[in-house]
Amino acid sequence: MAGQLREYRRRIRSVQSTKKITRAMELIAASRIAKARARVAAARPYAEEITRVIEAVASQTTISHPLTTERPQPVRAAVVVITSDRGLAGGYSSNALRRANELIELLRSEGKEPELYVIGRKGVGYYRFRGRAISGEYTGFSEQPTYADAKSVGDALIASFVASGESGGVDEIHVVHTEYVSALTQTPVARRLLPMVLTETNEPPAGGPLPQYEFEPSAEAVLDALLPRYVESRLYAAMLESAASESAARQRAMKSATDNAEDLIRSYTRQANRARQDAITQEISEIVGGANALASAS
């Protein structure tokens, strides 16, 4: 009984230590969510405005530019997958990887060979373990990305996009990231960055009429200059959305772990009290039995 009681007390101390860690990680993740949401709100207007500018340029000209024109018979497509560098975030990374696998299967069914560009150690480890070729891997900034990080990824993508097919260039660029909806809801999504998806419609554009531009020196030069800025801004917005989603998923996972630790502590405490009561009862029974034996002998 004494050994069993010591074991329960050891387990209680162990779970209490784990609870302190998970509680601290929950508070850290909660503090990062507000900062991440503020960064998303600050970056979103720029990404939306540069997209609006490109839509205005494309609607006012009839030029054929890689930014807005699909290539005939595309062969290769770059897929950027954004995951986390650390674990303990619930199903955040696994959901993004599942959505990326669905996109990869879709591209292959269309006759396109995907090329992986993976952000985050979880995604890199996932594809390395399965022997998948990775064209580019980027780690160390999943929770707090900067524009420089987005630029480094964007430069590699643009270099591959403008390269010819004979030299291994890609014809499309897709990105898979987790969209932050609320603290309880984060949705993995897949979007095509290049070429842009433009649809003809008679409905007025969101945000009012598109502005009219005069191009100097030419519309092609304007789109050439906007191409890297567009890719970088969209990637940066996707990274910020993913960072906010990662913090929200980690907070929820750590809160669940803290609640489970409290349940375990209560359960072990009841079992320890039961074991202590059984030990006391056994000792009393032994004392009473010994006293009765002495009385009978005398």
Question: Which domain does 244 fall in, by range?
Answer: 25-199+210-252
Check whether 278 has a pLDDT greater than 90: no
Query: Is 183 part of a structural domain of the chain?
Result: yes
Residue 208's pLDDT is 60
**Cis before 195? omega within 30:** yes
Query: Is 33 part of a structural domain of the chain?
Result: yes
pTM of the predicted model, to two decimals? 0.82
Query: Is 282 part of a structural domain of the chain?
Result: no
Residue 204's pLDDT is 60
- Contact status, residue 66 vs residue 195, Cβ threshold 8 Å: yes
Check whether 202 has a pLDDT greater than 60: no
> How far apart, in whole angstroms, are the C-alpha atoms of residue 113 and residue 96?
20
**pLDDT grade for 199, boundaries at 50, 70 and 90:** low
State pLDDT tens for residues 73-105.
888 999 999 999 988 888 899 999 999 999 999
> How far apart, in whole angstroms, are the C-alpha atoms of residue 248 and residue 185?
9
Query: Is 50 part of a structural domain of the chain?
Result: yes
- Neighbouring C-beta atoms of residue 290, cutoff 10 Å: 10
Residue 217's pLDDT is 72
Q: Is 134 strand, coil or helix? A: strand
Query: What value does the mean pLDDT take over residues 252-263?
Result: 90
State pLDDT tens for residues 28-73.
888 888 888 888 888 888 887 787 777 777 666 666 666 777 778 8
Whichever domain contains 83, its CATH number is: 3.40.1380.10
- Contact status, residue 122 vs residue 83, Cβ threshold 8 Å: yes
**pLDDT grade for 213, boundaries at 50, 70 and 90:** low
- Contact status, residue 104 vs residue 113, Cβ threshold 8 Å: no
> How far apart, in whole angstroms, are the C-alpha atoms of residue 121 and residue 113?
23
- Given phi > 0 = left and psi -120 to 50 = alpha, else beta, which region is 192? beta
Number of domains observed in the structure of the chain: 1
Q: Is 71 strand, coil or helix? A: coil
Check whether 129 has a pLDDT greater than 60: yes
Residue 211's pLDDT is 63
Query: Is 160 part of a structural domain of the chain?
Result: yes
Query: What value does the mean pLDDT take over residues 277-288?
Result: 78
Phi then psi dihedrals of residue 79, to 5 deg: -120, 115
